[in-house]
Amino acid sequence: MKGIVFTEFLEMVEQEYGLEIADHILENSQLESQGAYTAVGTYSHDEMLQLIGNLSTKTATDIPVLLKAFGRYLFDTFLSSYPSFFERTNSAFEFLESIENHIHVEVRKLYADAELPKFTTQRVDDIGFEMIYSSERKMADFAEGLIERTMDHYKTPYEMTKTPLNEDGTMVKFVIMKK
Amino acid sequence: MDSEILLRKLRREKEARKQAEAILEKKALELYQANEDLRRLNETLEGEIELRTIKMLSSEQQYRDLVETIDEVIYHADRSGVFTFMNHNGPARFGYSLDEMLGQAFEKFVHPDDVEKTKAFYAKMLKENLDQSYFQFRIISKNGQIRWIGQSVKSIKEKGEIIKFAAVARDITERNQLMEDLRNAKELAENSQLAEKQFLASMSHEIRTPLNAIIGMSHLLEDTNLNKDQNEYVEVLLNSSKILHTLISDVLDMSKIDSGNIEIQEKDLDLRALLKNIEKTFAIKLENQTINMKLQIDEGIDTYLIGDELLLNQIFFNLLGNAEKFTDEGSISLRAKILESNDEFVKIHFEVKDTGIGISKDNLNNIFEKFKQVSDDKKYSYGGTGLGLPITKRIITLMGGDLEVESIEGLGSVFHFEIQFKNTGKAISQKTNHISNTGQFVIPELAILVVEDNPMNQKYIGRLLNKWKLPFEFANHGKEAIEMCQAKQYALIFMDLQMPILDGFEAALALKTIQNKNSNTPIIALTASSLLSIKKQTKEIGMNDFLSKPFNPSQLKEVLVKYFPFKAQQDQNMEEFEAAFRFNKELNENYLADNYGSDLSYALDMFQTFITSFSNDYALFNESIKNKDIKSCGMYAHKIKPIFTMVGLNKITAHFDTLESLSKNENWEGFVSYFRKVEQEIVNCLALIKVETVRLEKFISHQQA
Ligand code: HEM
């Protein structure tokens, strides 16, 4: 997993819960990296699971809630760091379509070892949009947060349902309807 | 506590920085490595390019070698016609070196008279983006010689646009010279052939004209009070001139057949009536002799066939005349028997049998050969030319049959052949619509103008017209005729074609084009010439009918009844005639019959409307052409198109339809060239409609009278 995910995650924890909590979850995890993350490095996905797990225990908050919040947080980081990706598209659905076809493609060019999810999208009539997430890393909740902020960013009122397509959470379907 | 946390954070950050620096250094190394790889790749690529260039150069050398072995000029020229590549060998032929030509524009070498043409050729290729084209022009060789060049030029294109030309040019001076010689030789041959034909035609004219007068005057002489001796002289006079006439006709027929200049008319044919008429004529001829004329016609011949009445008459007259000459007593029989018959065709076997002296075996072989008379018997020749039987045989061959003869000396001969006619399926009606000989023309208000230079012929026609009480005036040549036509309107004009001062063609053309009172008056051409092309020419000029000289009184009458109502003595005949106004055959009879039926005044109304509306629109149409305004050309074409159908001229409607679509496609060149092609036809048709309108008017007013 790319370092930027870790640095941003810790940034969020420091902001939301304070330095102490951030330090606590780092100290209480068995981290191969010793918790020394740089945005350009690559680390084991397992470290992220430990950090989130510890944060959940410490703050008595469910992991999905934390992942979603992280997704929302990261969207804003993307918005300021990679404005060009947003300039290309005019609507929320167009932007969501561009993740698989363009954004993550560019990410892969930059970081050959990036571990990215796979998205399939489909428009339903004028107002509906279906997006299926699939990834070994089971981070649909994180995706949900990103999607929510996307809709906000494009000022599109919406309703969203999230349906797991299997038991282990590697396949999840989002259905978004414009309101 | 807080400071511990901060310390730990600081340690982690330090560690992270070291990591980042390590990653950066690693990346920098990777970058360097990648750059190195790129440089090496570059070097190998450069080497590759060098190698390929060497290879290419050597293969270009091969092409060059190849190109030098060729005897033609091979070159590249850029868009402005400047030579950029050329083989040595080519220009050397014309005394030029490669250095003199490369970098120079083609104009420098082209014959001054052909420069514009050559420029236009390249300009056209560029403008129309042509792939390939061929062109001939002249160049001036170094020593000032003019040489003809034929070059095939190909465009070399990049992204669809011509960037240069590649051409193979060849010296075709010798070839052109050869072709020119051939053309000249051919022209010479054709000219002499034409001269021969013209000589024959004009000779026959020279002979026939006075002969026509002799025959005509003899007929008139017969009608006067003559004593017995005088009567006999006239008869001899008539007979000899008729023989002379036959002779000329035969010679002429033969030459027409030999030159393929004979036209078989495909018209409805009542074979039964034709054979009966022939029988009647011969029965009268044989009245005073001890010879019987027998005719047997197959009952099955009961429909109109398609055939040439005139030529069939000639066949039977020749065969029967021949039989008559060699039979002293007994019988001559003519038989027509159906061999095969269905809806499409009828195949008939004809036989002319006599009980005459017969033909010897030796002579049987050559009786069909030209100018070979049966030597030991002077009598065995028809009309004295020895052409009667050969002509008959050739006419039958033209009709798809084969004339054969069987004969036993002393017993008689049988001439027989088969002809297959197309069948119209129309039943032959029993009633014959024969123009009654007894009767009268309705005297017209306007006179007939007879334009004829020969005073004898003038007298002949004059007597006949007097006899029928038709008023007439004479003009002695074309110029006089035009003057008379400007002063006065005539009902009909007879126009001799060969006249001094101004001939009939020019006079007729003038009457149709210049201001005069007779531009709508029907013109009947009179000519002793029998060339088919002349007949066609009279039609093209807009003459309405054609009467071949010499003509007999009933032939003249046949023409006249088309233009002047004729009251036959039997009332029934008169009714029949009046009911049947025949439109000119050029018009679509079916359409006119369907639309106007017997309501001729309605038809007249439409014809008159046509003339005014067409004249207006056509003037505007022509104006638009002058102004090159293709849009309004199309508009008027559209407007004019349908009105031609109204008067039964569907073919002109089709022309305007084409013109309309050409103008819609904005194809100005195509439009103009098509229009020039059909213009004369349109003008002729207008003249035709004018004539028909006048005829209709006259016909209706006579009906009412
Ligand atoms: C400018 C926009 C975006 C950028 C630059 C971006 C870039 C990235 C990067 C660098 C990663 C980490 C890959 C790794 O750790 O190896 C990632 C992962 C991920 N991205 Fe994006 N992304 C963007 C937008 C989005 C959005 C809008 C979604 C939401 C649908 C999304 C869904 C995800 C998910 C779910 C992952 C986690 C990996 C997984 O589940 O397999 N991304 N993205």
Determine, yes or no, domain membership for B259. no
Both B522 and B649 in one domain: the answer is no
Residue B571, domain member (yes or no): no
pLDDT in tens, A88-146: 888 999 999 999 999 999 999 888 889 999 999 999 888 999 999 999 999 999 999 99
User: Shortest Cα distance from A74 to chain B (angstroms)?
Assistant: 21
In whole angstroms, give the CA distance from residue B292 to residue B631. Answer: 76
Residue with tokens 């646009």: B161
Within 8 A of B16 by CB-CB distance, chain A residues are: 36-38, 41
Backbone dihedral region of B476: left (phi > 0), alpha (psi from -120 to 50 degrees) or beta?
alpha
Query: Is B180 contained in some domain?
Result: no
B417 and B373 fall within a common domain:
yes
Q: Using DSSP bridges, classify how beta strands B290-297 and B329-341 pair: parallel, antiparallel or unpaired.
A: parallel
Which residue's CA lies nearest to atom 17 of ligand 1? A116
pLDDT tens-digit readout, A39-95: 888 999 999 999 999 999 999 999 999 999 999 999 999 999 888 899 888 899 999
| Contact between chains at B15 and A20 (C-beta distance less than 8 A) | no
Distance CA B218, CA A179 (A): 118
Q: Based on the fold, state whether residues B90 and B3 are members of the same structural domain.
A: no
Backbone angles phi, psi at B445, to 5 degrees: -75, -35
Tell me if A27 and B23 make a contact (CB, 8 A cut-off).
no
Cβ of residue B25 closer than 8 Å to a chain A Cβ:
no
Count Cβ atoms within 10 A of the Cβ of residue B113 and give its class: 0-12 exposed, 13-18 middle, 19 or more buried.
exposed
Structure confidence by residue, pLDDT tens digits, B678-689: 888 888 888 888
**Using the 8-state DSSP alphabet, how is residue B83 labeled?**
E
Q: Which CATH superfamily is domain A68-178 in?
A: H-NOX domain (3.90.1520.10)
Same domain, B154 and B194: no
Distances (CA, A) of B411 to B133, B186, B378: 75, 53, 19
Tell me whether B23 touches chain A (CB under 8 Å).
Answer: yes
The C-alpha angle with vertex A29 and arms to A25 and A33, in degrees rounded to 5, equals 110
CATH (domain of B376): 3.30.565.10
Average pLDDT, chain B: 82
For residue B137, the cross-strand partners are: B149
Q: Which residue of B has its CA nearest to A35?
A: B12
Name the pLDDT band for B62 (thresholds 50, 70, 90): confident
Residue B693 · residue B604 · CB < 8 Å = yes
Same-domain status, B149 and B202: no
Token pair, residue B227, equals 């004593």
Quick one: pLDDT at residue B383?
A: 45
Residue A155, CA distances (Å) to A150, A151, B431 in order:
9, 6, 102
Nearest residue (CA) to ligand 1, atom 34: A143
Q: Do B600 and B684 fall within a single domain? A: yes
Q: Tell whether pTM > 0.80.
A: no
The domain in which residue B247 lies consists of 189-254
pLDDT at residue B385 in the model: 60
Q: How confident is the model at residue B396 (pLDDT cuts 50, 70, 90)?
A: very high
Q: Are B492 and B522 in contact (CB under 8 A)?
A: yes
3-state secondary structure B200-243: HHHHHHHHHHHHHHHHHHHHHHHCCCCCHHHHHHHHHHHHHHHH
Find residue B441's DSSP bridge partners. Answer: B566
> Do residues B424 and B277 both lie within one domain?
yes
Does residue B109 fall inside a structural domain? Answer: yes
**Cβ of A29 below 6 Å from ligand 1:** no
The structure tokens listed for B687 are 């003249």
Q: For residues B335-371, b (16+ Cβ closer than 10 Å) or e, as one string?
A: bbbeeebeeeebbbbbbbbbbbbbbbeebbeebbeee
The shortest C-alpha distance from A32 to chain B (Å) reads: 13
Among the atoms of ligand 1, which is closest to the Cα of residue A117? Answer: 41
Number of neighbours of residue B456 by Cβ within 10 angstroms: 14
In a domain? residue B616: yes
Cα dihedral: B411, B417, B418, B421 (round 10) = -120
Residue A48 CB contacts under 8 Å (≥ 6 apart), including other chains: A1, A5, A6, A9
Facing residue for A40 by CB, picked from B14, B15, B20: B20
Mark yes or no for CB contact A36/B24 under 8 Å. Answer: no
| pLDDT for res B569 | 52
Q: Is the pLDDT score of B525 beyond 50?
A: yes
Q: What separation in Å is there between the alpha carbon of A148 and the centre of ligand 1? A: 14
Tell me the average pLDDT across B376-386. 48
Q: Is there a domain that residue B434 lies in?
A: no
To the nearest whole angstrom, how far is the Cα of B38 from the nearest Cα of chain A?
A: 19
Q: Which of A34, A36, A41 sits opposite B23 (nearest CB)?
A: A41
| Domain final residue pick, B379, B394, B429 | B429
Q: Is residue B581 part of a domain?
A: no
Nearby residues of A163 by Cβ (< 8 Å), 6 or more positions away: A172, A173, A175
Instruction: In whole angstroms, give the CA distance from residue B623 to residue B433.
Output: 49
Write out chain A residues lying below 8 Å of B2, CB-based: 19-20
Domains of chain B: total: 6
Burial category of B634 from C-beta neighbours within 10 Å (exposed 0-12, middle 13-18, buried 19 and up) = buried
CB B23 to CB A37 under 8 A? no
Residue-wise pLDDT for B63-82, tens only, equals 777 777 777 888 889 988 89
Look at the block and give the residue holding tokens 């060339």: B531
Give me the CATH number covering residue B659: 1.20.120
Q: Are B120 and B101 in contact (CB under 8 A)?
A: no
Tokens of B87: 């083989």
Does residue B133 share a domain with residue B77? yes
What is the arithmetic mean of pLDDT over B502-507?
Answer: 86
SS3 assignment, position B197: helix
- Nearest-angstrom CA–CA distance, B174 and B159: 40
B15 and A CB contact within 8 Å: yes
Q: Which two tokens stand for residue B34?
A: 């990648």
B20 touches chain A (CB under 8 A): yes
| Pocket residue to mutate for ligand 1, from A104, A147, A160, most atoms within 8 A of Cβ | A104
Taking residue B586's Cβ as centre, other Cβ atoms within 10 Å add up to 15
CB contact B10 to A (< 8 Å): no
For the cut 80, the answer to whether the pLDDT of residue B573 exceeds it is: no
